[in-house]
Structure 1
């Protein structure tokens, strides 16, 4: 049966260009399987086309590895004739780009087949299938994303051993931990002012800006959204905005999970609560709230190993999962405890929620949301009870909970063999994602490292 995409208002494009007549270029953005934005640039009329019949792009862009190279094992490339799909505008995403040297706008798009069927390999459609299951149960996920990043000098050569670190800021000399430092933020006042201005123009609901544990490391939090798809879209576009404005200031923003050996990595924390059809937080319900929350935690933990390759989607990301790093190392949970994988934050009953702390800041927000929410739904549907919560330091002592692997290869093997992943994300998508990750792993396995040269050459 032909699928009819959501209606798109042509007036959105006309109204935008009427208010922004100077726009020369529209940057058409399609997030691929790794969360890398691909697409094309074109004149305003191309954006109008995206709100109408669609903009052609190859379906195979979802079969590219992290370096943008074709992965033949995905079966999406020349063996199919490298078919075009059509990309349609995401309503509400046509916004001005404040950091471009020339007047420009950006437009987020989703991929469809020629007959209007959502392309199964597009992570936005993967997430939509999970959200549809919540709607069938009269539930709606409310999500908020938090992103950590390093602000660095633009011309450094990445080297986890180099000292001092090539970071930007008033403390850029000695390597110091400046957690929650107001002085550090003040030294970058112009940069963060531009971030706030751009967020207002693009409609990104920014909350707080924090100086994090590493030198030159920061965290920006987004307010919660009662639309999980929108929340994931905004997390993706926030990364783009942070990096773009950094370039305009002569800096470089990095969301790499573990750029420096001796300093904390960059995480993507996701807060989730569930609303009923009346907009009430079901986790705060005095009769069933705690049971539902425990089941949600139970499902998240039960599916965690299977979905780890999505949460930590890079070879480097597994280095972040280290004891004492505030990144989890075990399948464990706890109340108001930042050493576990799933944390129940303190707060009022209406704000009762869980916080998922595994993902690297370079993970794909839509896939992270899809896997996490599918795990929550799995726990609620099956009534899964979690183990006892961890009290105190989850890295030490007789801590219960399986250890999370720190090898990408093992995580991908678990992902590829998982019936949970096949049911939640789709068996065809599971195949594509696994083949991309195996191709990337092979490159790292073949590369001779600098340490090997230093030791043996």
Structure 2
């Protein structure tokens, strides 16, 4: 018996897709966990219609896994639930063909629901939808886009054991320089980036400007601004998968660690966000340019006030915390400013009609659904409580004292702050909050138990 899809997906969408793409033989069906890792199955062409008719049973424990795919029992999603099955359903509009696969494949995103069709509230996508729904009830609709920074690395490490920038896929040329904004240097990677753009186009993503970033082998791709923040998060997480697949096809490694090289800048995932009213007007726009609208100031105030307790969402891994260093283009204090890249919350220069907040703390290793949910919750809190953001930072935000910022200084402090945070419980929902913080605590324990090369280097012959 066909069950009505709680996600809003329809059989007609799948039927039309199959008719339009007779060449496609299989589909990746993908659910994103707390770390943003795509987990699921590959199904054959003839199975797609049954997926759209009845969903697909998946174990509830798939949302309680750590970064290594190990069960985290403290999430309450493993044996507390008998590791039973729930039902995943396809997300409307996410069924797309993949570029360059042989044989041809497609992919579709899915979300988890209970067997009776209620949202499974440890699903990151539902956490974001919860904040979108809350804003809609207040007559507001968030719009936005993410920026994607990443490294392209050689598959083999250098003689010192460190990762090294990838050679140009065009002719094998190598550079260890910081080729920031070098257009000529981009040319050596154009065959790879042409395939990335082709993959994005097939997936309905408008990938835009490409630049060489501020580290050897580091690049940035920008994405088209979306009137639907959920679509913006989908674009980011899908583009990461496209970049990773096309890099692999060209013989190099795409790296989405926040800080793969201790001597250079790390990779961020800046989130640009504005707020539209029911008429589609941007409520952040000021009447006179530079005379800031109270709405955007209150939004900044909410984001500043909640940033410290939210940092685990923006910096979720051990490596994430290596990104935060003075003069590194990663913010180290909850500051705001205009046209200033040293602050955490930036109002970019440009057309007043495009007035928005650029939220800069998140690393590219963060989950975009959880980042967006947390940012929207901070904006809601600030606007509802009319929070004052304090004075604008007009100079070097790195000069601001860490002691006055109350920001966590390391991963463990961020985990403890997140566990205690009533704001984060509301932002993510209690179940997602419990799941996320339990997974992070388990990963912290794994890292701290691991005896690394640093231990031997520092202590083997000295203590």
TM norm structure 1: 0.95
1:106: which partner in 2? 107
On the 8 A contact 2:153/2:217 being kept in 1, the answer is yes
1:355: which partner in 2? 358
Quote the offset at 1:39 in angstroms.
0.3
TM norm structure 2: 0.94
Quote the offset at 1:4 in angstroms.
7.0
Q: Deviations over 1:69-90 (max 9, x none)?
A: 0001111112321111111111
Question: In structure 2, what is the Cα distance between the partners aligned to 1:427 and 1:104?
Answer: 37
Question: In structure 1, what is the Cα distance between the partners aligned to 2:137 and 2:292?
Answer: 19
Q: Tell me if 1:378 matches 2:377.
A: no
Name the Cα RMSD after superposition.
2.0
Question: In structure 2, what is the Cα distance between the partners aligned to 1:399 and 1:117?
Answer: 43
Question: In structure 2, what is the Cα distance between the partners aligned to 1:49 and 1:358?
Answer: 42
Structure 2: state its 5+ residue gaps: none
2:65: which partner in 1? 64
Question: In structure 1, what is the Cα distance between the partners aligned to 2:91 and 2:111?
Answer: 7
Paired residues, what number?
Answer: 454
Task: From the superposition, tell whether residues 212 and 45 of structure 1 become closer, same or farther in structure 2 (CA, over 3 Å).
Answer: same
On the 8 A contact 2:61/2:83 being kept in 1, the answer is yes
2:191: which partner in 1? 190
- Say which is worse superposed, 8-17 or 397-406, in terms of deviation: 397-406
2:246: which partner in 1? 245
Task: From the superposition, tell whether residues 198 and 258 of structure 1 become closer, same or farther in structure 2 (CA, over 3 Å).
Answer: same
Please point out which of 273, 293, 296 is paired with 2:296: 293
On the 8 A contact 1:99/1:244 being kept in 2, the answer is no
Task: From the superposition, tell whether residues 252 and 184 of structure 1 become closer, same or farther in structure 2 (CA, over 3 Å).
Answer: same
Question: In structure 2, what is the Cα distance between the partners aligned to 1:174 and 1:154?
Answer: 15
Q: Deviations over 1:354-388 (max 9, x none)?
A: 10001110110100000001000100000000021
1:36: which partner in 2? 37
Question: In structure 2, what is the Cα distance between the partners aligned to 1:289 and 1:3?
Answer: 47
Find the residue that maps to 2:293 and give its secondary structure: helix
1:338: which partner in 2? 341
Q: Deviations over 1:208-232 (max 9, x none)?
A: 1111011111001101101011111
On the 8 A contact 1:3/1:118 being kept in 2, the answer is no
Task: From the superposition, tell whether residues 12 and 4 of structure 1 become closer, same or farther in structure 2 (CA, over 3 Å).
Answer: closer
1:121: which partner in 2? 122
On the 8 A contact 1:331/1:401 being kept in 2, the answer is no
Question: In structure 2, what is the Cα distance between the partners aligned to 1:317 and 1:286?
Answer: 39
Quote the offset at 1:451 in angstroms.
1.7
Question: In structure 2, what is the Cα distance between the partners aligned to 1:358 and 1:9?
Answer: 38
- Say which is worse superposed, 247-256 or 96-105, in terms of deviation: 96-105
Task: From the superposition, tell whether residues 403 and 182 of structure 1 become closer, same or farther in structure 2 (CA, over 3 Å).
Answer: farther
Structure 1: state its 5+ residue gaps: none
2:372: which partner in 1? 369
Please point out which of 423, 437, 443 is paired with 1:420: 423
2:282: which partner in 1? 281
